[in-house]
Copies of this chain bind each other. A is one copy, B any other.
Amino acid sequence: MIKKISISLVISFICSLASAQQNVSFRQANIVSPVVNEAGTVTFSLRAPLAQTVTVHGDWEANGGLGQMSKDSAGIWRYTTGKLPSDLYMYAFSVDSVRMVDPSNAFSYRDVGNLFSLLIISHGNGDYYSVNDVIHGNVTRMWYPSAQYKTDRRLTVYTPAGYDKSKNKYPVLYLLHGSGGDEEAWVTLGRVPSILDNLIAQGKIEPMIVVMPNGNPKQAAPGETSENFNYRPVMTQYMPNFADGSYEISFNEIVNYIDSRFRTRPEKSQRALAGLSMGGFHSLLISANHPDLFDYVGLFSPGTPSSRALDPTRSAYQNLDEKFARQKKNGYKLYWIGIGKTDFLYEGMQAHRKRLDKLQFPYTYVESERGHIWSNWRSYLLQFTPLLFKK
């Protein structure tokens, strides 16, 4: 029989459980960092009483994303930014030249080879990057058999709320990561589940499946191959098979797999392809080499044939003008290009636009502020997806 036990006993049990738990400590107890202030500024705090210099560096524009922190008498370093626009921001501390994430912040993601702490500023784009009280889609980490690479390869797939229960068929957006990224990038820093959930809930986009493959030949996200923890993430151009065009040529094997595995509408008018940076380059080449697959193409800060040295012996890169001409003749509903004014790929894009203009190849061109950063790529996704799959 259960004995009635007093509240004080319950509390003492709870305390003993907490202190006895092994391998678990709490985040720095009295520090809350970051704090988004009412003025839209952000205050970072770190307890480091013995440090000589502490800086915070992030991807906001105010103060160049850099702040020299100041120490109080209790050994706590603080810095407050200027007012920041609504967005998701990445940051890290440098403590006497040692880089570290914020130990008071539970939220960090990897970008290529570094961890970053994260924060969201609301009342704008940041609201779309947040989990809100709406119905949510599911995210599956799965594998498809690649005939091209003779191995099973990873795919991350978002299915919208209601997919499981309905018998409907859905359009599909294929969304590609950049150099150094992987099939996790658009889910973590790209905030795809939140963006799609929120835009669908607001009726701004069609419910759609989003497929996020891995654009590094033979690779998968760190820890998802037999290299395990020995894998050290690098930029894609340091990987074997980079830029041999095999991914672009064989991309239809991913489309075929998705059409066989999910309730898709397997038609050109119900497929979109977009990517950032290297993934934009891939989208450009995949759509040119497979002109029957996609009615919607999005190039987000893309590499272009003008900005990138292509191996002319590879079929994916041959006869590009002819391929663009055929793509135009085949027809498509949207060819959307977005790039930031300070992007290091900006000049290459202008050269590529001249090439497209000469071919009278229609496209929508959007120029944003700033450069080659996630802030732009998430924003482009917010602009691009409402244009898809219109009747």
Contacts and interface: CB of A to CB of B under 8 A. Distances in A.
A72 interface: no
A17 B130 contact: no
Interface string A193-228: 000000000000000000000000000001111101
Given A18-B235, A112-B24, A133 B308 contact: no
Contacts of A114: 24-27, 103
Interface string A222-243: 1111101101111101100000
Contacts of A320: 1-2
A96 interface: yes
A109 to B, nearest CB: 10
Given A2-B312, A374-B23, A106 B98 contact: no
A46 interface: yes
A139 interface: yes
Interface stretch (A4-12, A263-271, A324-332, A381-389): A4-12
A169 interface: no
B228 A131 contact: yes
B23 A59 contact: yes
Interface in A148-179: 152, 161, 164, 179
A101 B98 contact: no
A2 B305 contact: yes
Assembly of this chain: how many copies?
2
A139 B47 CA distance: 38
A141 B116 CA distance: 23
A318 to B, nearest CB: 7
Interface in A295-311: 303, 305, 307-310
Contacts of A371: 22
B18 A225 contact: no
Nearest to A59: B23
Given A51-B96, A95-B98, A234 B2 contact: no
Contacts of A22: 59, 371-373
A237 B17 contact: yes
A100 B97 contact: no
A51 B21 contact: no
A50 interface: yes
A23 B375 CA distance: 11
Contacts of A116: 23
Contacts of A51: 96, 98
Contact of A226 (B4, B131, B237): B131
Contacts of A110: 106
Given A101-B115, A103-B114, A107-B223, 17 more contacts: A1-B320, A2-B310, A2-B318, A14-B238, A17-B237, A20-B344, A21-B179, A23-B59, A23-B90, A24-B112, A26-B234, A46-B98, A50-B52, A51-B96, A95-B95, A95-B100, A138-B140
Interface of A: 1-5, 9-10, 13-14, 16-18, 20-28, 32, 46-52, 59, 90, 95-101, 103, 105-108, 110-116, 118-120, 130-133, 135-136, 138-143, 152, 161, 164, 179-180, 222-226, 228-229, 231-235, 237-238, 261, 303, 305, 307-310, 312, 317-318, 320-321, 344, 371-374
